Structures are given as C-alpha cells and as structure tokens.
Amino acid sequence: MQSTLFQTLPLSEAVLRAVADMQYAQTTEIQARTIPLLLEGKDVIGRSSTGTGKTAAFGIPAVERIRGDADVTPKVLVLSPTRELAMQISDEMRKYARYKPGVRIATVYGGQPMPIQFRQLKTANLVIGTPGRVMDHMRRGTLQLGDLSMVVLDEADEMLNMGFYEDIQTILSEAPEERQTVLFSATMPPAILKLTKEFQKDPVLVAVDKGQRTLDTIEQSFYLVPLSQKMDALNLLLQHKAPNRSVVFCNTKKMVDELVEYLDRHGFAALGLHGDMKQAVRSKVMHDFKTGRVRILVATDVAARGIDVEDVDAVFNFDIPQEFEYYIHRIGRTGRAGKTGASYTLACNRAQVRRVKEIEQFVKAPITEQPLPSREDIVNKRGEAFFAKIGRVLDEGEEGAFEEALETLNARGYSDRQVALALLAMTAGKDRRSIPVVDAPKPQPRLDDSFGSGRTYLRVNVGRNQKIAPNFIVGAIVDATGIPAKSIGKIDIFGDHTQVELNRDDAQRVMDTMQDSKIRSYKVTFTPMSGGKPRPSRSRQEGRPYPGKKARDGRRRPAEYKKGQGRSN
C-alpha cells in the first residue's frame, strides 16, 4: 500500500494545521496518489471502495484551490448522490478549511428550506450539493457556474444508478470548458466511461489496490433462517453479539419501518433512516446515532450513503443486497481505520445462500455459514458477564449495603445459598423470557482444502432400498442447480446411500442448494465423502451396486437407466 506523511505533501500551513487537529498523520493510498495530481490541476478518475479516505483525497485539494476573499463566486462544485453524503462532505470540508480564511461553503440539497440556501449561495465559493437541487438553483439563477475551476463527482456510479445522468450532463455542460474535472466511483460501468470521455481531458486513473476490496479487517458470516422468523433471528444476533453500535440494512423503506417497530417492541433502542422521511427527522436520526443516544440504525442503501460514523462494531444485512457493490458499501461502514468489524447476513432459502456464495466470490473473502445462537448460548454469555460483575462488586466491597436485607431473609429461614440461587434463577428467567426461539437449520458441511480443485464425491442418503436410479439423481441435480448433466461423473448406488462424482465447485453448489430437497418423495442430504474419495463399488456390508446391464467400463447400469435420462460415468 502506497502511503506518505501529510507533512511531506505540498499543502498550505493552514490546511496542514487543520489536518493535524484531525489527527491525520499518514495518508491512505488514495490520498497519497490523488492529492498531488489534483494540486497539479490534472483531471482524475478515482476508483476506490468506501472507507478508504476519498473525501480527504478530493476535499483537501478543493479547499486549497480557494484563494480566500479574492474568490467571491463559486470556484469548486462537489456533486454527491444523497443529502446525507452532501452534509457529510460539507462537515469534512469545514474541518479542512478551519484555519484558511475566506473559504465560504454552501450545502444545497432537497428537504432544506430554500431561504437558508439562498443566503449561503450569495457568498459561497465552494458548493456541495445533490444534482437535483443544484439544477433547481441553476434554473432559479441563484447558482452561477461560470467561474468554476473544479468540479468533483463523488460516488458517480450511485448518482447514475439513481437516474441523474442527464442532470450531470447539463451541469458539466454549463461549467467552463477550462476546468478540472474529478470523478470518484467504486465501479466503472459504461455510463461512467462515457462521462469521462465526454467531460474529462486526459484523466489519470487512480485505482486503489487495483480494484481489490478492502475487507480484510471485517469478519463476514451468514445465517440460514426461516423467512417467518427472520426478525426473531436478528433479535437473537443482536442479543448475542451485543454490538455497541450497529447498522442494519433493509432493501425497502417499508421493511425499515416494520423492523424498527419490531425492535422497539422487543426492547431495542433503534431508529430508521430512509428517503421518505423529512430532512429534519433524518438529521435528528443521524445526530442521535453519531452521539450514541441510539445504538442501532436501520437503513436502506441509498439513505445510508452519507453514514460516516466511527466505531460501528457490526453491520447486519437483514435483506441481501440487490447489487454486489451495495454489499461492499454496506459492510464498509465497519472495520474502518484499521479497526476490526463484523458483518452478519440473513439468508432465508437455498437460492439466497447461492446469492451469498456469489457475493463471496465477488469480494474474494470468505463469508462463513454459522449456526444461530440459541437461548442457552445467550443466557450463558449473560451469565458469565453477570458473574464477572458480582466479582467486581465483591472485590470493591459494595455488598455491605445489603447485609440487612440478607439478614431479614436469613431470619425467615432462607440460607445464603438459597438466596443466591433464587437471585440467579430470577435473572435467568427474565433473560429467557426475552429471548425468542428460532427453528433454524444447522449449517451445512463445506468442502475443505483437502478435496483439492479436481473431482470429489458426495454421499446421498438414499439408495437401492428406496429404488433410486442414476437418472433420478441426475435429474434432481440438474433441475435444482442448473449443473449440466455432462458435468456429473460416476454414480454408484448402494443399499442405503449413493455416491456421486462431481468437480469441487459443482459439489459445493449441490451441498448449498439441495439439502433437505426431495428425490422420489424422499428427503435427501448431500455430504462430502472423507477426503473426497468414494467407497469401493462393491461391498458385502452395503450390497452390490444397483444391478443391471454392464456399462462399457464394466460397471453395472440399472435396467431402467436409458440413454438420455442421466449418466453413471
């Protein structure tokens, strides 16, 4: 990772002093590579995931571009996809400009009264806003772009996803042709490339970690839970993990509202954040979350784009995100600045498990299936904390204030031991009543590295005794997973089980997808054979393989197994 000290960058004393106040000593990679280019006036395309410090990467050069009181009209325009992100950028800009006189910032976004923004724009030389509200001020004549020398598009891919392409085109077309254009995006879809070609001049691409995702400090897990008990499953995780501060992501505004209502009923202090809320409400929600008055924030993807809160311990994906990049943005809210974090994803069926596995391949980091904590797990964990607290009270001598109460109970015939056990039972009973019971399936086995990358065997818990034939196995696998029949290798059928040969990836897909599915009305499970090796094709204990005509390799094929119905080798 490329990095350097802020003191070595060609920055003004005023900005260096502000950076020192913010306890920035060493740059992140995106800052080290981008700031010098922007100070030189070059157009830049920054490809960087969330949580890498990109606001400072463009914000510090933007502040340096302002010449103080000499600039009386907007010189810098920063566009962001959401009002929350615009407010966050504005807050950071003010910190960078703390000791630089003459930097006047206006933040324009929907939901805030226009008169406030009119007053700011009369004197602003640095404007941050959402495309829609910037266009509104341009139409009203309250924002002139004729003197701009720098335009920044932050999270450009998200702005395009939200339908702002034409607005961005209009804004950039109204800005002077001789200007610096800076674009930051986590992904590079064709629409982004079109923008860069049309509005940038010889841009320099700065790709942090060559596009690799910065998720090394985040432990990622998922849980297979019943859809009908999804909220109860989240309840269990919140009680067991007990994060100090967490964000829960939902895909819809309706689910945000329903989940906040559920959490409130079950004793959790949670607030929701989504686009239908008035700006004053959204601002108060973010303030309460940042200050720690509320520890659980339930949000949609778009509403959460402006969340930049330190010390988020965990992210919960109540709903699996619709786009892979959303997953990156979500869990990037935790594990920041070298700290560790955790993400927990709820999957409600095998199709969603497949989706999690696809995300796992995309982020190139393991997302491990875990069993949901049980009521006993939570009670035991609380018990350990309770015993530790008792120990601290005894060590500090605080128990003396209750001697009289204990003597009263002793006088009624209760021993000290009976009193202690009763208190423990009362505490545990209260705990148990507040903990839901979720009937979740246990995590399914995973292929370990000993299986290698070649062929392996799975064991199916049905065989000749259930009148299973190879074509039944092949048909079920093809229908459930989409694996081509030609990719399925040998199928050996024994009395009470069947062995199926597959390559490693297909075998894992079958285990993820087909547990508890049915073949000929029998519920089946697929488990890896030890070391990926099959049992011998003949066994006195299990009986011979399914009888039938001999195949070309000498093994027997079932009589009803006809060409075109499946494979046995």
pLDDT tens per residue, range 424-457: 666 655 555 567 777 666 666 665 544 445 788 9
In a domain, 379, yes or no: yes
In a domain, 444, yes or no: no
263 lies in the same domain as 135? no
DSSP label of 313: -
Domain boundary among 333, 351, 369: 369
d(CA 388, CA 564): 67
In the predicted model, what is the mean pLDDT of residues 34-57? 87
d(CA 207, CA 46): 6
pTM above 0.75, yes or no: no
Host domain of residue 471: 449-558
d(CA 234, CA 222): 12
Tokens representing residue 36 in the block: 């010098």
Q: Determine which helix (DSSP H) or strand (DSSP E) holds 107, and give its type and residue range.
A: strand 105-108
CA 558 remoteness from chain centre: 49
39 lies in the same domain as 67? yes
**Lowest pLDDT segment from 247-261, 349-363, 534-548:** 534-548
Beta-carbon contacts of 201 under 8 Å, excluding residues fewer than 6 positions away, are: 43, 181
226 lies in the same domain as 314? yes
pLDDT reported for residue 188: 80
Give per-residue burial for 247-286: e unless 16+ CB within 10 Å, then b: bbbbbebebbbebbebbeebebebbbbbeebeeeebbebb
In a domain, 443, yes or no: no
51 lies in the same domain as 144? yes
227 lies in the same domain as 359? yes
pLDDT at 483 over 90: no
HSE of 492, CA atoms in CB hemisphere, 13 A: 20
Which region holds residue 436: left if phi is over 0, alpha if psi is between -120 and 50, else beta? beta
In a domain, 242, yes or no: yes
232 lies in the same domain as 193? no
d(CA 100, CA 141): 28
355 lies in the same domain as 398? no
pLDDT at 387 over 70: no
Among all chains, which residue has been given the structure tokens 């003004």? 12
Tokens representing residue 76 in the block: 């810098």
227 lies in the same domain as 172? no
Among all chains, which residue has been given the structure tokens 């009543």? 433
178 lies in the same domain as 263? no
Query: 63-121, pLDDT tens digit by residue?
Result: 999 988 888 899 999 999 888 889 889 999 999 999 999 999 999 998 888 999 999 99
338 lies in the same domain as 476? no
**Counted domains in the chain:** 4
Among all chains, which residue has been given the structure tokens 């100090």? 244
In a domain, 438, yes or no: no
Least Cα distance to 55 among 167, 182, 171, 142 occurs for 182
In a domain, 569, yes or no: no
39 lies in the same domain as 150? yes
> Exposed/middle/buried for 381, CB within 10 Å: 0-12, 13-18, 19+?
middle
58 lies in the same domain as 119? yes
What CA–CA distances, in Å, run from 346 to 250, 457, 525? 11, 29, 22
pLDDT at 148 over 50: yes
CATH number at residue 118: 3.40.50.300
* DSSP string of 222-275, one letter each residue: EEE--GGGHHHHHHHHHHHH--SSEEEE-SSHHHHHHHHHHHHHTT--EEEE-T
In a domain, 564, yes or no: no
d(CA 423, CA 405): 13
Q: Are 320 and 352 in contact (CB under 8 A)?
A: yes
In the predicted model, what is the mean pLDDT of residues 518-535? 77
In a domain, 358, yes or no: yes
